[in-house]
Amino acid sequence: MTPASAGARRPVVAVVGAGPRGTAVVQRLAARLGGDGPGADIEVIEPFVPGAGRVWAPGQPESLLMNTLAGHATAFPDDSVRTPGPPTPGPTLLEWSGHHSPGLAPHAYPPRALMGRYLAWAFERIAAGAPPGVRVVHRRDRAVELAAAPGDRLRLVLAGGGEVVADAVVLATGHTEVLPGDGESALRSDAARLGLVHVPPGQAHESDLSRVAAGEPVLVRGLALNFFDQLTLLTSGRGGRFTTSPGGRARYLPSGREPRVYAGSGRGLPYLARGHAPGTMPAGHRRVVLDDAAVEGLLARGPGAVSFTGDVWPLIAKEAGLAWYGVLLRRSPGECAFAAREFLARYAVAPYGSVAETGLLERAFADPAARFDLRDLDRPLRGRRFASRAEFDGWTRARLDDDLAQALDPGSSPLKAAAAAVASVKGAVRRLVAGGALGGETRAELSWLRAFGAHLSSGPPPSRIAELLALSEAGVVSFLGARPEVHVDAARGVFTAVSATVPDEPVEARALVDAWLPGADAARTADPLLRSLLDSGLGRVHRGDGGRGGPSGALDVDPAGLRVRDARGVASDRLFACGVPLEGVEWNTAIGARARSNAALFRQADVVAAGVVARCARSTAVLAAGVDDAGTRGTVRG
């Protein structure tokens, strides 16, 4: 049925959130609704710049960098993306930059603001190029409530006082706040009562760091990517400068406006640098253990029949081990008692963690340091104690220096080879999770794998590690250690932090920066829209182990169609969700689209678009039959 045949009104689709994922949904909707489709008005509700959303704000400081190479970034599906919907190609970031930011190299780590400008341009192109019968309208507002409306439709209430009544709603809300736990609530309350500075978790470019005083100590919790952003704003963002010594090392020249940073995290060390030889594009890793055939075999066992610990993790560890030993034996064949080919063949068939594998490694490598254990990389400070902070800082700088050297020459680094192997299996794990193959309670295991994989293989550009080294050498940054305990000392009016890594040197400060982003947790969401969805019964929290286990943190959806399940478990044909709110139903959902990779983000967007179009077709048929829902003409107000 063509759009013109719907005389009463066209269907209305609301897309809540227009970051990269919401924009991809709009793109696929426009493609599927146009032509012979039913047509529709697509109402895009996004309080920030559409396309860029909150994370990729085009106005954020240029000093904040992506940890993705320019040559990998795209907002448009290319011909590698396998979807049944009509193609919607467009320029990659690198192609777009040729006209808008000349000189960008494919191997560069661009400013996030540049990516934001590209994404904003992409949204404008998609909206302007919508086919006849499809209208895309951006509403610069925030949706705060969702409820049922007459005619089997949905009503979104906006923070600005208006509302949108829609035939279908897509939730692409991305990262949202979660309610703090009891301990965090008490810490925040005590800090406010004593006049201490607490910068809560959130996007670095939105943080009010002006309250952190120059020259004074500040505690920083978190050593992942958000930490590097916050640190940049507190140092070079305050006028400090990095220079290069004659030997090629980075040096930091303070401005005098920096605070004295004491940083720690659960692991106690920063994310490892991405392996990236200067001036090149990474070669990547070809899976040989947890490859597509292995994934298909695991999926074939049926829903819930696969154990992460018993079936999946051994394949990940073996994949990484083969990569590690492959580089080690090419670089230093004399370290092994066997010829490289013989050892690798024996290692490949020895089951992970078995007596056979242990015996093989003991016979092959006299030096225990050459024997690879993937889990050892996760807790590098386990069992280590340092007599002073100066000693620990020196040890940490040596680790950073070694990591930087390996990152800049990844072809000779067993560590970076193993990291590339772990990065390569993320898509395979996503398929197993989305396919329902994993049985039992897997939330903790998958959460650990996501965090560990990010630490190992999704870290900052090598330049950020070089800068951190320079900041530590300049006395601007010191390290707290692993699992620092932070409390408020009301008698002294300060925060205190102590870690078992350096147990005899607690640190006091009147400022605390939480340098992390909250994880997705639907049960503890502080987002009013998601809260109303759950309170109304239009949605429910997903539970693991086939619905028999505890909350996974996700909004519950039908995995095949991404249709939101209501309180009774019935999948809606008018409410869809994708991306971060589904972490738990899917896995590692925050990952963006990579060019030439059959990106899951675009395939997921097309699945949502197909469901919405089917819903719109039904609505159009009802309207054409004269069964209009009285009282809802003029579907958009405010």
Tell me how crowded residue 241 is: count the other CB atoms within 10 A of its CB.
11
pLDDT for the residue 81: 96
CA–CA gap between residue 197 and residue 40 (Å, rounded) = 49
pLDDT for the residue 7: 46
Would you say residue 631 has pLDDT above 70?
no
Name the band, by pLDDT with cuts 50, 70 and 90, for residue 10: confident
Name the band, by pLDDT with cuts 50, 70 and 90, for residue 153: very high
pLDDT for the residue 1: 35
pLDDT for the residue 623: 63
- CATH topology match: 3-178+553-637 vs 182-271+460-514: yes
CA–CA gap between residue 251 and residue 242 (Å, rounded) = 5
CA–CA gap between residue 165 and residue 574 (Å, rounded) = 12
pLDDT for the residue 36: 80
Q: Which amino acid is at 32?
A: R
List phi, psi (to 5°) of 612: -65, -40
Kind and range of the H or E run holding 485: strand 485-489
Would you say residue 633 has pLDDT above 70?
no
With a CB cutoff of 8 Å and minimum separation 6, the contacts of 617 are: 1, 37, 38
Q: What is the pTM of this model?
A: 0.94
List phi, psi (to 5°) of 619: -65, -40
Would you say residue 224 has pLDDT above 90?
yes
Name the band, by pLDDT with cuts 50, 70 and 90, for residue 296: very high
At 613-630, the pLDDT tens digits run 999 998 887 666 654 444
Would you say residue 270 has pLDDT above 80?
yes
With a CB cutoff of 8 Å and minimum separation 6, the contacts of 191 are: 197, 198, 488, 495, 512
With a CB cutoff of 8 Å and minimum separation 6, the contacts of 402 are: none
Name the band, by pLDDT with cuts 50, 70 and 90, for residue 199: very high
With a CB cutoff of 8 Å and minimum separation 6, the contacts of 372 are: 320, 321, 324, 325, 414, 418
pLDDT for the residue 48: 98
How big is the chain by its Cα radius of gyration, in Å?
26
pLDDT for the residue 624: 60
Q: What is the mean pLDDT of residues 450-476?
A: 97
Q: What is the CATH number of domain 3-178+553-637?
A: 3.50.50.60
At 421-431, the pLDDT tens digits run 999 999 999 99
- CA-wise closest residue to 487 among 473, 474, 499, 472: 499
CA–CA gap between residue 277 and residue 71 (Å, rounded) = 15
pLDDT for the residue 626: 56
Cα-based distances in Å from 150 to 143, 165, 167 = 19, 9, 10
Which of the pair, 628 or 306, is modelled with greater confidence?
306
Q: What are 158's strand-pairing partners?
A: 143
Q: Could you write out the DSSP letters of every residue in 155-186?
A: EEEETTS-EEEESEEEE---S--B---HHHHH
CA–CA gap between residue 378 and residue 371 (Å, rounded) = 15
Cβ proximity of 252 and 240 under 8 Å: yes
Q: Classify 241 as helix, strand or coil.
A: strand
CA–CA gap between residue 275 and residue 264 (Å, rounded) = 23
What is the CA angle 168-172-178, rounded to 5? Answer: 125
Q: What is the mean pLDDT of residues 460-472?
A: 98
At 530-582, the pLDDT tens digits run 999 999 999 999 998 888 889 999 999 999 999 999 999 999 999 999 999 99
Q: Which amino acid is at 251?
A: R
Q: What is the mean pLDDT of residues 432-441?
A: 93
Cα-based distances in Å from 586 to 171, 301, 542, 554, 616 = 15, 19, 11, 8, 26
- Where are the domains positioned within the chain? 3-178+553-637, 182-271+460-514, 292-457
CA–CA gap between residue 96 and residue 70 (Å, rounded) = 11
- CA-wise closest residue to 583 among 536, 629, 526, 518: 518
pLDDT for the residue 495: 98
Domain range 182-271+460-514, CATH class: alpha beta
